[in-house]
């Protein structure tokens, strides 16, 4: 193998071939080691922003979907909302396979949820009766066990913007 590479390096016109071979070898080892170390991980997606108006049956639909790698499994998913001050989040709902736990009494009365299953890799939080206080940053956090049986978490965020209606007085 050493003679092969030394012969290629002697011929400058063959350098692109040498680079191709080295890149292929590196990519091969990266795939092997990444999979065995659990580096390739679950991915989570949600809309980056939602814009809506107050009134007329407006509903916030927060959808958090995930894709798992082989030998990974999701243990729970949580939707949280950022407090207006500071960098703290309060938990709204926690989702487990085939059940939902409401953690915010206000959201329990104004929302409904769909949890994840083996055949449906997403959770949905529908918030109805929109209030101005519903604007802000929401975070979906997915807790899972990777292929090495190590507990992990990853998250994604959605910004919700709410526009009020202007009231005008006729004179």
Examine residue 28 and state whether it is found in any structural domain, yes or no: yes
pLDDT, greater one: 18 or 59: 59
Question: Do 9 and 77 have their domain in common?
Answer: no
Q: Does the pLDDT of residue 114 top 70, yes or no?
A: yes
Examine residue 63 and state whether it is found in any structural domain, yes or no: yes
CA distance 153 to 146: 10
CA distance 112 to 95: 12
- Residue for token digits 């999979």? 35
Question: Do 114 and 156 have their domain in common?
Answer: yes
Rg of the chain taking only CA atoms, in angstroms: 24
Q: Which two tokens stand for residue 1?
A: 């193998």
Confidence bin at 86 (pLDDT 50/70/90): confident
Orientation angle between helical segments 15-37 and 2-10, nearest 10 degrees: 140
pLDDT at residue 101, rounded to an integer = 93
Q: Does the pLDDT of residue 66 top 80, yes or no?
A: yes
Examine residue 170 and state whether it is found in any structural domain, yes or no: no
Question: Do 22 and 88 have their domain in common?
Answer: no
Range in 16-30, 43-57, 99-113, 154-168 with the lowest mean pLDDT: 16-30
Question: Do 72 and 33 have their domain in common?
Answer: no
The CATH number given to whatever domain includes residue 156 is: 2.60.40.10
Question: Do 58 and 138 have their domain in common?
Answer: yes
Question: Do 48 and 31 have their domain in common?
Answer: no
Examine residue 102 and state whether it is found in any structural domain, yes or no: yes
pLDDT at residue 95, rounded to an integer = 94
Confidence bin at 118 (pLDDT 50/70/90): confident
pLDDT at residue 42, rounded to an integer = 67
Q: What percent of the chain has pLDDT over 70?
A: 71
Examine residue 122 and state whether it is found in any structural domain, yes or no: yes
What's this model's pTM, rounded to 2 decimal places?
A: 0.69
Confidence bin at 63 (pLDDT 50/70/90): very high
Question: Do 69 and 143 have their domain in common?
Answer: yes
DSSP secondary structure string for all residues of 119-145:
S--EEEEEE-S--GGG-EEEEEEEEEE
Examine residue 106 and state whether it is found in any structural domain, yes or no: yes
Question: Do 122 and 75 have their domain in common?
Answer: yes
Residue 89 CA to chain centroid, in angstroms?
A: 16
Number of domains in the chain: 2
Expressed as residue numbers, the domain containing 129 is 43-163
Confidence bin at 39 (pLDDT 50/70/90): very low
Q: Do 71 and 85 meet the contact criterion of CB atoms below 8 Å apart? A: no
Question: Do 30 and 59 have their domain in common?
Answer: no
Examine residue 168 and state whether it is found in any structural domain, yes or no: no
CA distances from 151 to 95, 121, 122, 165 (A): 17, 18, 19, 46
Question: Do 140 and 93 have their domain in common?
Answer: yes
pLDDT at residue 28, rounded to an integer = 43
Q: Do 139 and 121 meet the contact criterion of CB atoms below 8 Å apart? A: no
Question: Do 22 and 85 have their domain in common?
Answer: no
Backbone angles phi, psi at 137, to 5 degrees: -100, 125
**Residues forming beta bridges with residue 142, ordered by sequence position:** 77, 154
Examine residue 149 and state whether it is found in any structural domain, yes or no: yes
Q: Do 38 and 71 meet the contact criterion of CB atoms below 8 Å apart? A: no
Question: Do 56 and 86 have their domain in common?
Answer: yes
Mean pLDDT, the chain, integer? 77
Contacts of 72 (CB under 8 A, 6+ apart): 41, 42, 144, 145, 146, 147
């Amino acid at each position: 193998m050493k003679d092969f590479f030394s012969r290629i390096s002697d011929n400058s016109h063959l350098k692109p071939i040498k680079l191709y071979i080295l890149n292929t070898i590196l990519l091969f080892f990266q795939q092997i080691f990444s999979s065995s170390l659990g580096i390739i991980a679950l991915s989570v997606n949600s809309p980056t922003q939602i814009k809506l108006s107050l009134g007329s049956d407006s509903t916030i639909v927060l959808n958090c979907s995930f894709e798992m790698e082989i030998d990974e499994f999701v243990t729970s998913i949580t939707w949280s909302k950022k407090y207006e001050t500071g960098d703290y989040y309060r938990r709204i709902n926690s989702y487990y396979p085939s059940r939902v736990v409401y953690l915010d009494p206000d959201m329990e009365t104004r929302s409904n949820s769909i949890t994840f299953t083996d055949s449906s890799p997403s959770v949905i939080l529908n918030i109805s009766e929109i209030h101005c206080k519903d604007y802000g940053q929401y975070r979906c956090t997915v807790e899972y066990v990777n292929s090495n049986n190590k507990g992990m978490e990853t998250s994604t965020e959605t910004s919700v913007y709410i526009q009020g209606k202007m009231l005008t007085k006729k004179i």
